[in-house]
Amino acid sequence: MDLKTALYERLDRYARIDTQSDDKSAAFPSTAKQLTLARLLAAELKRIGAKKVKLDGHGYVTAELPATVKGKKPVIGLLAHMDTAPDASGKGVRPQLHRAWKGGDIVISRKLGVILNEKNCPELALCRGEDIVTASGDTLLGADDKAGLAIIMTAAEHLIKHPEIPHGVLKIGFTPDEEVGQGVKFFNVKAFGADCAYTFDGDLAGAVEEETFNADAVEIKVQGKSVHPGSAKNAMANASRIAAEIVSSWPENMVPETTSGREGFIMFMDIAGETEKASVSGIVRDHDLKKLKAMERQLEAIVAAKRLKYPLAKIELSFKEQYRNMKGVIAGRPEVMRKLLAAVRRAGLEPRIKPVRGGTDGSRLSFMGLPTPNVFTGGYNYHGRYEWVSLDGMNKSAEVLINLARGWAE
């Protein structure tokens, strides 16, 4: 099965629409521009022949593919998210296709010095000979998760055109704001009507994921005291310096740059300050909930020490739950992973079960009663200018989706 042309056409079209979410926004979706893509997807679903297409007031796009077999079969959900990460610009994305990459440098932008190769991304070596898509060097690509959108749309169109392929009822769901941890905040699992689901939001071909981080947000607020620097001794509390000292006190072996696999971390992402006030926000991540709470206690101890050191300042520390590891929920429904592994093997790949060093909509959906593991989309280096995706990997993902549909009907 080769759907690469359709996959690239969709990825190119979706990627050019700026759908960057905003973690500072109180609205939902956090940015109105996500609705531009939502409306396009809803119209496209109607055009290809999907049924019960709906774009609701929260920006969720849902649809249904009726069964092609008789008898009661499990209803399967297929999900991807529409937004791109706040980490890098998503405005003016210009995808580039690098055909049949044979090794060596992939020049994303010579002018900006953005060059992709096996040295700065060893994972690229697994895609030698494949068609690679990047952006143009000044934006992210948005394959996270517009590759997932393209995969679901292209596979759905293929299934509609080929009713001889047996499958039960398939539910499609496209969500906003996944990148800011709010993707399924208002998602109605009962109305969606699936027995289990799969997010198409992973990385390299063959990788499937049933385990995510446990995730909390962290926020530190420092209220300082400003006086003239000439008379500051024992009278000033410089909020910016105190905030910087808290950040620098966190162990270097417990940050994203020095951890991998199942190792947890705290990442301080946004720091703002002046003499009288400063703020730090970030994320806490670990696959083991006990270890996550231990890291939080360690940060609390650091902050407590700074309160003693700087009695003129007021330092507040807070944590907010974002999502939890979905593995325990999915383990309770072993057939969900069993069908996925069979679908990957049927596509000629050996599945690699690995933990997600992040989260997916499936993390929260699983705890909302919808077991939802994650499926590869063929990309890597997400959230930045070095992002790339293999069209061949996307093609394999679409094949896995069709195999899943067939497998649940057998």
Give phi and psi for 77, each to the nearest 5. Answer: -100, 145
- Residue 83 annotated to the active site: yes
- Burial (CB count <10 Å: 0-12, 13-18, 19+), residue 37: buried
186: closest CA among 58, 372, 52? 58
**Catalytic residue chosen out of the listed positions 18, 44, 64, 83:** 83
Backbone angles phi, psi at 207, to 5 degrees: -80, 130
Catalytic member of 144, 178, 387, 399: 178
Q: Is 178 a catalytic residue?
A: yes
On whether the CB atoms of residues 404 and 76 are closer than 8 A, the answer is yes
| Angle, alpha carbons 387-392-397 (nearest 5°) | 90
Determine if residue 114 is left, alpha or beta; phi over 0 gives left, psi from -120 to 50 gives alpha, anything else beta: beta
Compute φ and ψ for 168, nearest 5 degrees.
-80, -165
107: nearest Cα among 99, 92, 117: 117
Catalytic positions: 83, 178
